[in-house]
Amino acid sequence: MVTPLGIEPSQCFVAGAWVAPRAGETLDLINPSDGSTLCAIARGQAGDIDAAVEAAQSALNGDWGKATAAERGRVLARIGALVLENTDELARLEAMDVGKPLTQARADVLALARYMEFYAGAADKLHGQTIPYLDGYTVYTLREPHGVTGHIIPWNYPMQIIGRSVGAALAVGNACVLKPAEEACLTALAFAELARRAGLPAGALNVVPGLGAEAGAALSAHPGVNHMSFTGSVGVGKLIQASAAENIVPVTLELGGKSPQVVFDDADLEAALPFLVNAGIQNAGQTCSASSRILVQRGLYDQVIEAMAARYSQLRAGPALDDLEVGPLVSMRQKAIVESFLAKGADLLIAGQGRVNDGAPEGGAYVRPTLFADVPPDHTLAQDEIFGPVQVIMPFDDEDEAVAIANGTEFGLVASCWTRDGARQMRMAKRLRAGQVFLNNYGAGGGVELPFGGTGLSGHGREKGFEALYGFSVLKTVAALHG
């Protein structure tokens, strides 16, 4: 049994208090490193979501709605400080809950703290404008909160995604209802407890764990929710957008990708190599912005394969607390999905493979990190998001072909280009279809300050950085005729 920061994990956090789910039902939370049951979590349902939305509305009509921007910033800063103070415990919880190796889990804690710091500082810097208009008028704009914001969080980076969406939403003065993934609830609950201790007014943040089809669907369909923010699969993203259409509310969708790194013959290969591999295997490849496609110009192609294969041969997958390069996947279900992709690559060349570490428990959700070479760009391994430690390498001849392959999927989240040619860097930055383009680096996961989001099946709307504050606010124009 784990009790995050003294919290009973089978409860919901609603209106500033820990409450049992109304139907009294729970779900088992599984440790993917060994398949054991960690604890029971609440199986929240529509009634719990109703209570959470009501609590959020009350907060907006009460202390939280009256808080000044500076006060909102101050409470976010206190939450960030408490997150930092509890780095070890939060990292351990995340490692056990989702199988993230401890070093990577610690990085997520620091990112969560950074989001709180960033949005603490940003809260009182979101300004309106004054607009010159007709004689006798003064016109200005106000940036106001949407009201109640719904946040449906996936299991791959719970802390980072809570940080970027809840942090920005609270900075603007929204009140949040958060539905963590059923596979990953502990740090969401711990975060709520830290927010309570930091003095966040009751109802400003509510957390209702439960199944997607129950608590998640109830939240996204709730008429009292004024904005929905979702990170997860394309299929569920479509459902969220359909519900938002029904209620005519704005929605931010971040739905993953098939992000390429494009390596030209003149690239600094030594600098590129760690990024080429790490961006694919970080978090066992369960990263929306994972770089799962490596495009290499023919002059360097064999060399890159050889160097990446050498790195792969050193990769070990093992229990999160052993803190190896790769942890287990989040669940046996995810392992089965990744293995079915590996089976689809049976006719392809495996250029490099890591191993499951000796002694890794039988019941853990481990797969071997695998690098495929010579993959045709239209192959399912080069087109579909696998969400596992699997990368493909493909050759190209010239810039036009590189762009055609790089842009040749339905996704468009992140892309990177490795070249020493400055003019080519500028051209590629414009030509690559992605919400973020990295030149001579790759930034999966990081970059609290950097606006992030996709095009195509990767979704729409921008999170992170200052840009997120625009998404989490509504613009009101005030026109005063005073003569």
DSSP letter at 153 equals -
Selected from 70, 213, 245, 481, the binder of ligand ADP by CB under 6 A is 213
Pairing type for strands 12-14 and 370-373 reads unpaired
459 lies in the binding site for ligand ADP (CB under 6 A): no
By the rule CB under 6 A, 216 interacts with ligand ADP: yes
DSSP 3-state of 302: helix
CB atoms within 10 A of CB 331: 19
The partner residues of 261 in beta bridges, in order of sequence, read 294, 416
Closest approach of Cβ 64 to ligand ADP, in Å?
24
| Residue 276 contacts residue 291 (beta carbons within 8 Å) | yes
239 binds ligand ADP (CB under 6 A): yes
Enter the tokens of residue 152. Answer: 């449906």
Place of tokens 């394309």: 234
User: Considering only residues 38-97, where is the footprint of ligand ADP by CB under 6 A?
Assistant: none
CB of 309 to ligand ADP, least distance (A): 29
> Which residues, in sequence order, are bridge partners of residue 230?
152, 253
> What residues are paired with 138 via a beta bridge?
480
Nearer of residues 80 and 150 to ligand ADP, judged by Cβ: 150
Task: Work out whether strand 130-131 and strand 137-145 pair parallel, antiparallel, or are unpaired.
Answer: antiparallel
C-alpha pair distances (Å), 431 with each of 30, 119, 224, 403, 407: 43, 32, 41, 7, 9
Contact residue for ligand ADP among 79, 236, 417, 428 (CB under 6 A)? 236
CA 55 to chain centre: 26
Q: Which of 182, 193, 214, 254 is flagged as catalytic?
A: 254
Beta bridge partner(s), residue 229: 151, 252
Min CB(417)–ligand ADP separation in Å: 28
Report, in Å, the least distance between residue 27 CB and ligand ADP.
11
Q: Give the interface segment with ligand ADP, choosing from 179-187, 359-367, 371-379, 398-406 (CB under 6 A).
A: 179-187
| Region from 77-85, 148-156, 294-302, 313-321 binding ligand ADP, contact rule CB under 6 A | 148-156
Choices 15-23, 135-143, 149-157, 305-313; region in contact with ligand ADP by CB under 6 A: 149-157
Does 182 bind ligand ADP (CB under 6 A)? Our answer is: yes
Please state the closest distance from residue 280 (CB atom) to ligand ADP, in A.
Answer: 18
Q: Which of 141, 233, 383, 455 binds ligand ADP (CB under 6 A)?
A: 233
Give the residue with the Cβ less far from ligand ADP, 152 or 315.
Answer: 152
Determine the straight-line distance between the first and last CA of the chain, rounded to whole angstroms.
Answer: 69
Tell me how far, at minimum, the Cβ of 186 lies from ligand ADP, in Å: 14
Q: Chain-centre distance of CA 457, in angstroms?
A: 15
Helices marked H in 102-233 = 102-122, 158-172, 186-197, 217-221
Is there a catalytic annotation at residue 12? no
> Which span sits near ligand ADP by CB under 6 A: 212-220, 359-367, 439-447, 465-473?
212-220
Q: Which two tokens stand for residue 195?
A: 């927010």
Q: Least separation, in Å, of the C-beta of 219 and ligand ADP?
A: 7
Catalytic residue among 39, 176, 185, 288: 288
Token pair for 5: 């920061």
Residue 242, number of CB atoms within 10 A of its CB? 12
Beta bridge partners of 291: 259
Q: Which is nearer to ligand ADP, 40 or 139 (CB)?
A: 40
- Candidates 114-122, 230-238, 341-349, 425-433; binding stretch for ligand ADP (CB under 6 A): 230-238
For residue 124, what are its two tokens?
Answer: 């009182």
Please, what sign has the CA dihedral across residues 455, 458, 459, 464?
negative
181 lies in the site for ligand ADP, by CB under 6 A: yes
The verdict on whether 185 is a catalytic residue reads: no
Query: Is 217 a residue that touches ligand ADP (CB under 6 A)?
Result: yes
> In the complex, which residues of this chain contact ligand ADP (CB under 6 A)?
152-154, 179, 181-182, 212-213, 216-217, 220, 232-233, 236, 239
Residues with active-site annotation: 254, 288
